[in-house]
Amino acid sequence: MNLLRRLWLRLRRLPRPRTLRARLTAGLVVLLAVSCAAVGVAAVVELNGFLTGRVDQQLQQSGPSFPQSLEHGKYRPSDRDGDEHGDTRRQASGTFGARLLNGRITNAALIPADDDPDLTVGLTAHDRTVLAEVPADGRAHTVHLKSIGEYRLMAWTGLDGDVLITGLPLEPVRATVHRLELVSAAVFGLALAVAGVAGAFWVRWSLRPLSRVAATAARVSELPLASGEVALPPRAPEADPHGEVGRVAAAFNRMLGHVEDALTKRQASEERLRTFAADASHELRTPVASVRGHAELALLHPGPVPPEVTRALERIAAESSRMGEMVDDLLLLARLDAGRPLERRPVDLTHLILDSVTDARAAGPEHRWTLDLPEDPVTVPGDSHRLQQVLANLLANARLHTPAGTKVTVLLEAEAGTAVLRVHDDGPGIPTDIQPGVFERFTRAEHRRRQDATGAGAGLGLSIVAAVVEAHGGTVGLQSAPGSTTFTVRLPLG
């Protein structure tokens, strides 16, 4: 059991084929190897039994005549053709004969393979013990004699109470069986090698449709499906629909058709939504500006105005101003979604950060504002107004959603051809369930981060940050935990 367990553990540590083609080829070779081994073992066992049976027949035919002739005396060289001293007629070369009386060997002889008339054989004590234990039942038994090798022996009981043993060597049988083993191993090994190579080509040819499906799937996986406007590659060639590979190819092509239809419908829906947002934003700018203008005009009336009316007019002016900013943000997002190019000029981020932090310090004096800027200016190509808006939105987010006394740090550095801007605060952090969609539109989390009524936003600030940064070829990320929130913006320098 321990040996089998160790063998199983070693087999499990062997490298396994990873691809389906390699597994099928390996399985084919293993099955063929098992079949060849079974055929080889059966052939060897059958041949060994057949040849051993022939030896037993020879022993039955010769009978105890040779050992009987040994009890009359020592064999004389002049009597090689046979006489009463040692009858070697009709005896094959290598025939062994022995006579036992009362468990002791009185005579033993071996017919040589050449013309040597000497029939004597020197038996060891072990050989004598083995011969004494051979049962006199007239049946063949296989024994190993140290002096002459492996023999097939048959013993009979003589007329005078002695035991007569005749034997034939098994070395020719073993040599023939061993030759068959070598030939079988060579032939089966060559067959396995040829079958492995041919099987690999056959499996590869059979799985060509599946390989085409995999290639098509790989091309689809590389497409920017999130962009909406995607042209899917040609469908995978369909094989026999009655086979497994053909059914997989057909199902895959149907799936691609459904995906293409869904992408087309989604793209059309998004286009309609973008058009509506752009048109609505554009149409709302005029009435919002008109409401704001009339409110400000009413506040400038020289006559007496009740305090309640003044307060209402101030609120109308403030909310219309905030609504105007929201409309401008929606219009900006619509333009960015439409892929309109931004201005491309060298922008000094260091200068933008200084101006933005100055404005944020004036808007939120209760916060602690710190800077960590490099000695040399960091310049990136882009739209200075939009990048200024990115900084303003990030600083406003830190100001509006953290309590008074929060430390806000702005860091800037250049690394590996990229300008890295980090805005860090030690506020309460952003809820974990909000973080995955924090850069999506209209995402808000007032229940965790403080928000003044006067600064209530529509959840568009961070979505504008992500859109503007993406339009500049950069990325924006977030790391937030209680006591530490960091927004990281990366922009290409060149």
Same domain, 366 and 485: yes
Same domain, 198 and 233: no
With respect to residue 230, please indicate whether it lies within any of the assigned structural domains: yes
Same domain, 238 and 254: yes
With respect to residue 2, please indicate whether it lies within any of the assigned structural domains: no
Give the distance, in angstroms, between the CA of residue 16 and the centroid of all CA atoms in the same chain: 11
Alpha-carbon distance 433 to 445, whole Å? 10
Predicted pLDDT of residue 487: 94
Of the pLDDT bands very low, low, confident and very high (cuts 50, 70, 90), residue 81 is very low
Same domain, 373 and 323: no
Same domain, 302 and 323: yes
Give 375-415 pLDDT, tens digit per residue.
Answer: 888 899 988 988 998 999 999 989 988 999 999 999 999 88
Q: Starting at the edge strand that comes first in sequence, how are the strands of the sheet with 418-425 ordered?
A: 368-372, 407-415, 418-425, 484-492, 475-481
Predicted pLDDT of residue 453: 36
**Residue that terminates a domain, selected from 279, 307, 340:** 340
Same domain, 355 and 470: yes
Same domain, 162 and 178: no
With respect to residue 213, please indicate whether it lies within any of the assigned structural domains: no
Task: Residue 445: name the closest of 454, 432, 463, 427 by CA.
Answer: 432
The contacts found for 149-157 with CB under 8 angstroms, 24 or more apart, are: 150/174, 151/96, 152/52, 152/55, 152/56, 152/59, 153/96, 154/56, 154/59, 154/60, 156/63, 156/64
Backbone angles phi, psi at 170, to 5 degrees: -100, 0
Domain hosting 230: range is 220-340
Q: Which of helix, strand or coil describes residue 162? A: coil
Distances (CA, A) of 230 to 264, 269, 337, 340: 8, 15, 16, 19
Backbone angles phi, psi at 492, to 5 degrees: -65, 135
Same domain, 419 and 445: yes
**Residue that terminates a domain, selected from 277, 308, 340:** 340
Alpha-carbon distance 295 to 305, whole Å? 13
Same domain, 52 and 175: yes
Task: Residue 427: name the closest of 450, 453, 395, 402 by CA.
Answer: 402
Of the pLDDT bands very low, low, confident and very high (cuts 50, 70, 90), residue 281 is low
**Residue that terminates a domain, selected from 287, 322, 340:** 340
Instruction: Report pTM.
Output: 0.47
With respect to residue 307, please indicate whether it lies within any of the assigned structural domains: yes
Q: Report the CATH number at residue 356.
A: 3.30.565.10
Q: Report the CATH number at residue 87.
A: 3.30.450
The structural domain count of the chain equals: 4
Give 145-203 pLDDT, tens digit per residue.
Answer: 988 899 999 999 888 888 999 999 999 999 999 999 999 999 988 988 898 888 888 88
Q: Is 262 exposed, middle or buried (0-12, 13-18, 19+ CB in 10 A)?
A: exposed
Is the pLDDT higher at 28 or at 451? Answer: 28
Same domain, 316 and 385: no
Q: Report the CATH number at residue 242.
A: 1.10.287
Same domain, 180 and 84: no
Same domain, 33 and 108: no
Alpha-carbon distance 441 to 457, whole Å? 11
